[in-house]
Amino acid sequence: MSTGIRPLVVSVPNEELAADLQPLPDGVEVIAWGMDGPAPRAEIDIVVPPYMSVAVIMPRLAGVRTRLVQGQSIGYEGIAEHLPPGHTFANAASVHEASTAELAVALTLAAQRSIPDFVRAQGEHRWAAQFTQSLADRRVLLLGYGGVGKAVAARLAGFEVDVTAVASRARTEDGVSVHGVDELGELLPSAEIVIVSLPGGDSTRGFVDDAFLSALPDGALLVNVGRGSLVDTDALVDHLQRGRLRAALDVTDPEPLPADHPLWSAPGAVIAPHVGGASSAMRPRIARLVRRQIERMLAGEEPLNVVIPA
């Protein structure tokens, strides 16, 4: 006999995530909606949009009643302007930090140890030994000390480096002395490697500009796993072409990087196509987060990671 109680309805973008969510408590209905067409229901409690296309498909939530829109990315810049009124949006903090930190360290090591040179030599069947830069004993400045920055710091702990953390404000966090961005003028001249994981948005656009880059010592390495908009690309290309600096980038501005862009061929540049979170760790972690949101909603608790309230 029907109890008359409506199930908690959750839409996910594909059948794979629907399967990953199992088992779920009684009273939960999961439907697959890739948001490539009209909503299958007028009321969906939790909507999980497709990965990396949230801003494009947000308008399709118009006319749909939701209690939570659960994004699959950490970043959420630009979402508010596309999200119809009345929806609460949560980001995917806890899902991508480990993978993004892995890539940050991998890019750093690749640039320091000249791995791209060896890969090119392998393709040409050349034995091309060379003396390279170490990661050990280097002075590393972490610009951004949120989830990704902390994950990078944890992974650098075994590399015998001198790490300095910088965030929007000075503080002591978990025993770590974090410097404020107002101290960068004193810190940049001695930074041999800068790993950037700041969020995007208007407040950080072009933060790494020519003055920032000019303050770094010759030969310094800039690693960006935050957002491409953080860096003044023209200024960076200038420093690379002059041999002043090196760069290892998972994100660029513009993005995708056009085929004829000078950044591709700039000396000292290593470029990955925005794949920081794109690893096998993502599926189980996004499923874990969505399950936690379901459990909290069933218990009458507030959702996690809300960055845009209704």
Residue 43: active-site member: no
The catalytic position among 60, 87, 227, 285 is: 227
H or E, element range at 122: helix 115-123
The catalytic position among 60, 87, 179, 274 is: 274
In the numeric block, the tokens 């399709």 are attached to 60
Q: Is residue 36 classed exposed, middle or buried when 0-12, 13-18 and 19+ CB atoms within 10 A define those classes?
A: exposed
CB distance 99 to 73 below 8 Å: no
Residue 125: active-site member: no
The catalytic position among 244, 255, 283, 296 is: 255
The neighbour count for residue 278, using CB atoms within 10 Å, is 17
Provide the Cα torsion 7, 8, 13, 17; round to 10°.
-90
Give dist(CA 47, CA 45) in Å, integer: 7
- Check residue 135 and report its DSSP letter: S
CB distance 49 to 35 below 8 Å: yes
Length of the chain: 310
Residue 239: active-site member: no
> Which residues carry out catalysis?
227, 255, 274
